[in-house]
Amino acid sequence: MYDFVIVGAGSAGCVLAARLTEDPTCRVLLLEAGPPDRKLEIRIPAAFSKLFKTRYDWAYETVPQEHLDGRRCFWPRGKTLGGSSSLNAMMYVRGNREDYDAWAALGNDGWGYDDILPYFRRAENFERGPTAERGTGGPLNVAELRDLNPATEAFLRAAHEVGIPGNDDVNGSAQDGVNATQVTQKRGRRWSAADAYLRPARHRRNLTIETGALARRVRFDGRRAVGVDYVVGDQARAADATREVIVSGGTINSPQLLMLSGVGPADQLRAHGIPVVHELPGVGRHLLDHLSVVSIVECNEPVTLAGAESFRNLGRFLVSGRGMLTSNIAEACAFVRSRDGLSAPDLELVFAPVTFLQHGLEAPTGHGLTIGAVALQPRSAGTLTLASADPSCPPCIDPRYLSDDAGEDLRVLVEGMRRAREIFAAPAFERYAGAPTYPAPLPTNDADAARHVRRYAESLYHPVGTCAMGNGADAVVDSSLRVHGVEHLRVVDASVMPTIPRGHTHASTVMIAEKASDVLRR
């Protein structure tokens, strides 16, 4: 018997487990479907893509995307303690003030920027020191990259030369501009949510952690959530929650579990033989994600991360936490506006001092440089639906990329490719940037760029919105993250975001869980 049962030990679940068990009288069970986070590659920043399509990754795929030449897109999602914070690129990017003020404007009281800033600050230990916007002393270490690649320094200078201003802190008072990436690392090693929150708390007597535990359903007494049924191996287990069940499975697993438990669109539940506990049509709707497309050129000098896996570099990393293996690959980012008249950036340019293709699963054959263009405010929204009543069966993921009627998402990515081409041609890059390789040649007109986007664009791994917060007919949780229409059940993770931030979702997910922990402890 527990006070709280938390499903999912990702970014949000780790925060909740640690914060709730600060009260020694509060008993918490944390369930994680994946294994413990003991694999060495989790610690090595530059090795994150080696975790894709392994036992540490749910390794989801979308359904064929009509506007991406019928391609299925790969969606890595963390399946271990720390969740996706144990296999992401460690970029700490909160987003823009406007993002959170928009949440409040949608009727979510307490979620405006000034409301949530204290939770960002409480969560982080910003190594550069505290400011009005930044915090120190928190569990989540936020650092500068230890050994910036010389090609990354050239990218920063080239961005300035084409008119993108420098920004000392894109997580500060203004987002526009370019800078080296801030990362969730400590002493050159990954610092996941499990490192930050769970590891210091895991020996508390009031916290129980079970790995390899796949949730089958939330159990209800009427409309009150009373526990979770799950399996470990082939053994069925049940856990009772006297206070609340908290679903923190992420944007894919949380709506799937709600539907498997009888909470969701009634016709979909009945089609799979699932008894309806409460009809909630918004479960699985409003799926948003950041779509990205890369432009790659040869590097004229052998300075890139193509040689990062040498024994010398591994030894340097293990002994001193220095060198190429401390790179997060995405070493710099620029936030720009794709056209005049916008009130905030809608385009991100991410620089990697290496050829980065096929999610890093394709080893570079030579030295190259990559700029990824990211559409930060997608108009295209998709859905997540059940494929089966079997919890081990992946759901159907359909982000409906580039489906917006106005074609704005495509326009932004085409503009991003133009900006990438401009940066590669800047004088500061003359020493490093060579012939284009992907695509070759780089498109010089919008039609060719659009064809490249449709053929090669991929997810940047930031899905949100499938259990959206709000008060409308399609809302799933209220502003306290309680699931509408039932009792003692909350969702706390990226799925509750009603719109997608102009950033990378790990930072905002941690913030959401920090805020939720205060609500739950009242």
Task: At 435, list the tokens.
Answer: 């012939």
ω before 501 within 30° of 0 (cis)? Answer: no
Nearest to 44 by CA among 142, 192, 190, 182: 190
Q: What are phi and psi of 339, to 5 degrees?
A: -155, 165
Distance CA 187, CA 207 (A): 28
Q: What is the CA radius of gyration of the chain?
A: 22
For the stretch 47-69, what's the b/e string if a residue is b when 16 or more beta carbons lie within 10 angstroms of its beta carbon? Answer: bbbbbbeeebbbebebbebebbe
State the catalytic residue, choosing from 278, 462, 504, 506: 462
Is 462 designated active site?
yes
Distance CA 175, CA 167 (A): 8
Nearest to 501 by CA among 376, 333, 341: 376
- Helical pair 408-424 and 150-161, crossing angle rounded to 10 deg: 110
Q: Do 147 and 303 contact (CB within 8 A), yes or no?
A: no
Report how many helices (DSSP H) and strands (DSSP E) the chain contains, helices first. 13, 25
Which active-site residues does the annotation give?
462
